[in-house]
């Protein structure tokens, strides 16, 4: 069975269910989204039921899919198959621009006058806009990659958060000496290790250079010297035994399990680690930013960050109801309730408070302090460029090519795009 056909079958088998009794009549509003984490499943459905209660005669039909199915085949199948949703989840960045350009997105700019925009974290708008217009209704603030660790494990092994690259290497030496894998990195799906590498590149080269190179700006190449040097530092970690052996064949879930089972000291991944963990585990998670790398040109507060949210189908029969649903889901009350269950809101009013897990409060600190944010390769750029970069990282993590060779191959992969004048607009 081909991968494409398998994905189509999975998309067809997506969980679909209304939030009101089947006999409810009147307007049906369809919302397509990725599957909610275990802690958010109940609160999300409760918010949809509350909306139905406020709008008698309206039934919200929920279409949920696995993340990979949704992104790769499921969502677009709904559109080309003639059953488009009225509202649909989207990762901010390139995919917002892609769906807007395809005519699948309603212009939401009128819904965001200055006083409404001010409710959100400022970095959200780089993810939500295309050609200066808003097409994504921000819902969550997502930090794509930071260095997660368990404070109890650090205490057990008498190590602390590193403040320099040399301290990071000594931390890794200490953990290896105690039979603990320093960094659990799973890259079977390509995006996880690729995002870790992109985080290193964005901080090392600087966000502007990162955007220029992955955006295929004239005069740039993917084997840019700063890109090469950042991946050399990644390769050095791999060669030292600081990163999972066989990372290229290890899944993201496997890597997370190593951290949760105290078999790994650190795990570079995004904010969803907290929401996917049970309450006891989430209380024992904290994070730090990559320390300053030797030769680094970028800012030490750099983050890979974006907003995820919802788009409205341009031809929906119910544009006002679709907007009303999104206004409801992003009220302060709903977002504060979701924050109690691990949701990291795009709204300032629902930012993690003193009662939130330490890991979430740390992410809020990082977002407040950051002076430069970049988008991850698979959401911020032309997908062929992203694939070329992620393939290069996989070669490096798998020990099948050195950084310069791998990035030169990536450059060859995008040569046709350069000739065609196709770029990934990330601004």
The residues spanned by each domain of the chain are: 3-143+306-374, 146-304+376-420
Run of H or E residues at 17: strand 15-18
Beta-strand relationship, 146-149 and 181-183: unpaired
Nearest Cα to Cα of residue 43 among 354, 360, 359, 345: 345
CATH pick for 3-143+306-374 out of 3.40.190.10, 3.40.50.12780, 3.40.50.720, 2.40.30.60: 3.40.190.10
Q: What is the pLDDT of residues 216-268, one digit of tens each?
A: 999 999 999 999 999 999 999 999 999 999 898 899 999 999 999 999 999 99
How far is 420 from 423, CA to CA, in rounded Å? Answer: 9
Q: Which residues pair with 91 in a beta bridge?
A: 308
Q: What is the per-residue pLDDT for 419?
A: 79
| Distances 288 to 79, 106, 148, 150, 201 between C-alpha atoms, Å | 40, 38, 7, 11, 17
Q: What is the pLDDT of residues 97-141, one digit of tens each?
A: 999 999 999 999 999 999 999 999 988 998 899 999 999 999 999
In this structure, the number of other CB atoms found within 10 A of the CB of residue 72 comes to 16
Q: How confident is the model at residue 421 (pLDDT cuts 50, 70, 90)?
A: low
Q: What is the per-residue pLDDT for 346?
A: 94
Q: What is the pLDDT of residues 291-331, one digit of tens each?
A: 999 999 999 999 999 899 999 999 999 999 999 999 999 99
Nearest Cα to Cα of residue 117 among 323, 109, 314: 109
- Whether the per-residue pLDDT at 1 is higher than 50: the answer is no
In this structure, the number of other CB atoms found within 10 A of the CB of residue 399 comes to 14
Q: Which residues contact 3 (CB under 8 A, 6 or more apart)?
A: none
CATH class of segment(s) 146-304+376-420: alpha beta
256, 269 contact by CB (below 8 A):
yes
pTM greater than 0.75 (yes/no):
yes
Domains 3-143+306-374 and 146-304+376-420 share a fold: yes
């Amino acid at each position: 069975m081909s991968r494409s056909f398998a994905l189509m079958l999975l998309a067809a088998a997506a969980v679909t269910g209304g939030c009101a009794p089947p006999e409810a009549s009147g307007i049906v509003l369809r919302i397509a989204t990725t599957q909610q984490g275990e802690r958010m499943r109940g609160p999300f459905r409760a918010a949809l039921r509350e909306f139905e209660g406020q709008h008698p005669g309206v039934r919200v039909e929920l279409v949920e899919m696995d993340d990979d199915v949704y992104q790769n085949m499921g969502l677009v199948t709904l559109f080309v198959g003639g059953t488009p949703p009225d509202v649909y989840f989207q990762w901010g960045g390139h995919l917002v621009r892609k769906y807007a350009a395809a005519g699948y997105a309603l212009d939401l700019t009128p819904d965001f006058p200055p006083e409404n925009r001010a409710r959100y974290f400022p970095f959200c708008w780089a993810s939500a806009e295309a050609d200066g217009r808003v097409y994504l209704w921000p819902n969550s603030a997502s930090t794509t990659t930071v260095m997660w660790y368990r404070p109890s494990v650090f205490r057990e092994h008498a190590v602390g958060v590193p403040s320099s690259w040399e301290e990071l290497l000594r931390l890794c030496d200490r953990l290896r000496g105690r039979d603990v894998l320093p960094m659990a990195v799973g890259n079977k799906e390509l995006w996880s290790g690729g995002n870790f590498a992109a985080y290193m590149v964005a901080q090392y080269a600087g966000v502007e250079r990162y955007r220029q190179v992955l955006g295929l700006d004239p005069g740039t190449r993917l084997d840019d010297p700063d890109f090469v040097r950042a991946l050399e530092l990644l390769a050095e970690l791999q060669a030292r035994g600081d990163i999972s052996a066989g990372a290229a064949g290890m899944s993201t879930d496997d890597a997370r399990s190593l951290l949760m089972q105290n078999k790994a000291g650190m795990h570079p991944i995004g904010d969803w680690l907290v929401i996917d963990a049970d309450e006891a585990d989430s209380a024992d998670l904290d994070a730090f930013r990559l320390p300053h790398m030797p030769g680094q040109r970028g800012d030490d507060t750099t983050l890979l960050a974006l907003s995820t949210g919802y788009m409205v189908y341009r031809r929906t029969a119910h544009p006002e109801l679709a907007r009303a649903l999104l206004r409801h889901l992003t009220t302060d009350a709903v977002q504060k309730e979701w924050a109690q269950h691990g949701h990291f809101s795009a709204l300032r009013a629902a930012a993690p408070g003193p009662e939130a897990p330490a890991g979430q409060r740390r992410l809020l600190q990082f977002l407040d302090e950051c002076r430069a944010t970049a988008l991850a390769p698979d959401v911020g750029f032309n997908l062929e460029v992203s694939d070329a970069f992620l393939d290069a990282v996989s070669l490096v993590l798998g020990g099948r090519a050195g950084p310069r060779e791998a990035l030169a191959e990536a450059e060859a992969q995008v040569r046709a795009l350069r000739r065609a004048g196709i770029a990934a607009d990330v601004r």
